[in-house]
C-alpha cells in the first residue's frame, strides 16, 4: 500500500497521521508549524485522501503501510504524531516496531476499544447523498444538515468531495469499507501485548471524553513513559480549535 504524502521542511523526520474521514490536509496548520524545524511527512492513510483503497482497515495493516512508507523513503527512525484514528495507527507502529520511533505524540485518543459507535449518522449521511444530482458544495452541505448539525463538522467532511474527470462529484474516502470495517476502527491496541518505552505524550482536549481516567492503567501498561497534557476549552478537534497551542506543545515535546 503506497501512501500519498506531502513533505515539507528540513531536519529530523516527523510523520503525521490524520483521523477518520480526514486527510493530511486536516493537520495542515500543525504540519506547517512543525515544518519550520522538522521534515514533516503528512500521510493520507489507506481509504482516505489520495491514498489507495483497500477492503481491510485493521490497525496492523495501517501500521504496516506507515512502515512501508518509511522503508521506501529510507527513514530509519522518526517522531510520530497522530490524531484520533491516526493516533491509534501511530501507537500501533510504536508497539510493533519500537526501534523505528523516537518520540510518540497521540492527540485525543486512547489505545482502548471504544464500545460506542460515534459516526453512524455521518456514514449514513455521506452514503445516502445523491451525488449524481449534486451541483455544488452548498447543495451537498444542505443535504447533510439533517444528518450532521454542526457546520464545522460538515465543512470538514465535505473536504472529501471532489469532481472526477467527467465533472461528477465523488467521495475520496472509501465509505463502504469504513462502514464494514468500523469494528476495526474502534478497536484498541490491547491485543498486541507489547510495550513502547520511548517518550510518549498524550494530548487531551479538555472537553473531550476520548481519553478518560479509567484508561490510565491500559495506557501505562503499553506506554510506561507516557505523560498527559490537557488543552482546555477544546473538544476532540484539538488541532482545529487551538492549532497554535498544540503546535507549540508538540515542538517542545519533540525537541526536549
51: annotated active-site residue: no
Distance CA 12, CA 95 (A): 21
What b-and-e string marks burial along 45-59, b requiring 16 or more CB atoms within 10 Å of the CB? bbbbbebeeeeebeb
- SS3 label, residue 202: strand
Helix, strand, coil percent content, the chain, rounded in steps of 5:
45, 20, 40
Distance CA 246, CA 113 (A): 25
Name the active-site residue from 16, 23, 84, 208.
84
Residue 179 C-alpha from the chain's centroid: 17
236: annotated active-site residue: yes
Name the active-site residue from 18, 41, 48, 236.
236
What b-and-e string marks burial along 213-238, b requiring 16 or more CB atoms within 10 Å of the CB? eebeebbeebbeebeeeebeebebbb
- Catalytic residues, by residue number, are 84, 236
Amino acid at each position: 500500500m503506497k501512501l500519498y504524502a506531502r513533505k515539507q521542511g528540513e531536519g529530523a523526520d516527523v510523520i503525521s497521521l490524520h483521523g477518520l474521514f480526514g486527510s493530511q490536509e486536516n493537520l495542515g496548520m500543525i504540519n506547517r508549524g512543525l515544518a519550520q524545524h522538522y521534515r514533516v511527512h503528512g500521510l493520507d492513510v489507506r481509504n482516505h485522501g489520495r491514498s489507495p483503497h483497500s477492503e481491510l482497515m485493521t490497525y496492523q495493516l495501517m501500521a504496516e503501510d506507515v512502515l512501508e512508507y518509511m522503508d521506501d523513503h529510507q527513514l530509519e527512525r522518526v517522531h510520530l504524531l497522530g490524531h484520533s484514528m491516526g493516533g491509534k495507527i501511530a501507537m500501533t507502529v510504536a508497539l510493533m516496531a519500537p526501534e523505528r520511533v523516537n518520540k510518540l505524540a497521540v492527540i485525543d485518543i486512547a489505545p482502548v476499544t471504544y464500545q460506542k459507535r460515534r459516526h453512524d449518522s455521518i456514514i449514513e449521511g455521506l452514503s445516502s447523498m445523491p451525488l449524481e444530482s449534486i451541483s455544488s458544495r452548498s447543495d451537498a452541505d444542505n443535504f447533510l444538515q439533517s444528518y450532521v448539525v454542526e457546520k464545522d463538522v460538515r465543512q470538514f467532511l465535505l473536504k472529501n468531495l471532489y469532481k472526477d474527470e467527467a465533472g461528477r462529484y465523488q467521495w475520496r474516502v472509501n465509505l463502504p469499507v469504513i462502514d464494514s470495517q468500523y469494528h476495526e476502527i474502534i478497536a484498541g491496541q490491547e491485543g498486541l501485548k507489547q510495550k513502547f518505552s520511548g517518550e510518549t505524550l498524550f494530548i487531551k482536549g479538555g472537553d473531550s471524553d476520548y481519553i478518560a481516567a479509567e484508561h490510565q492503567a491500559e495506557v501505562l501498561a503499553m506506554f510506561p513513559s507516557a505523560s498527559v497534557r490537557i488543552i482546555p476549552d477544546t473538544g476532540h478537534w484539538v488541532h482545529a480549535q487551538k492549532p497554535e497551542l498544540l503546535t507549540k506543545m508538540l515542538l517542545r515535546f519533540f525537541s526536549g
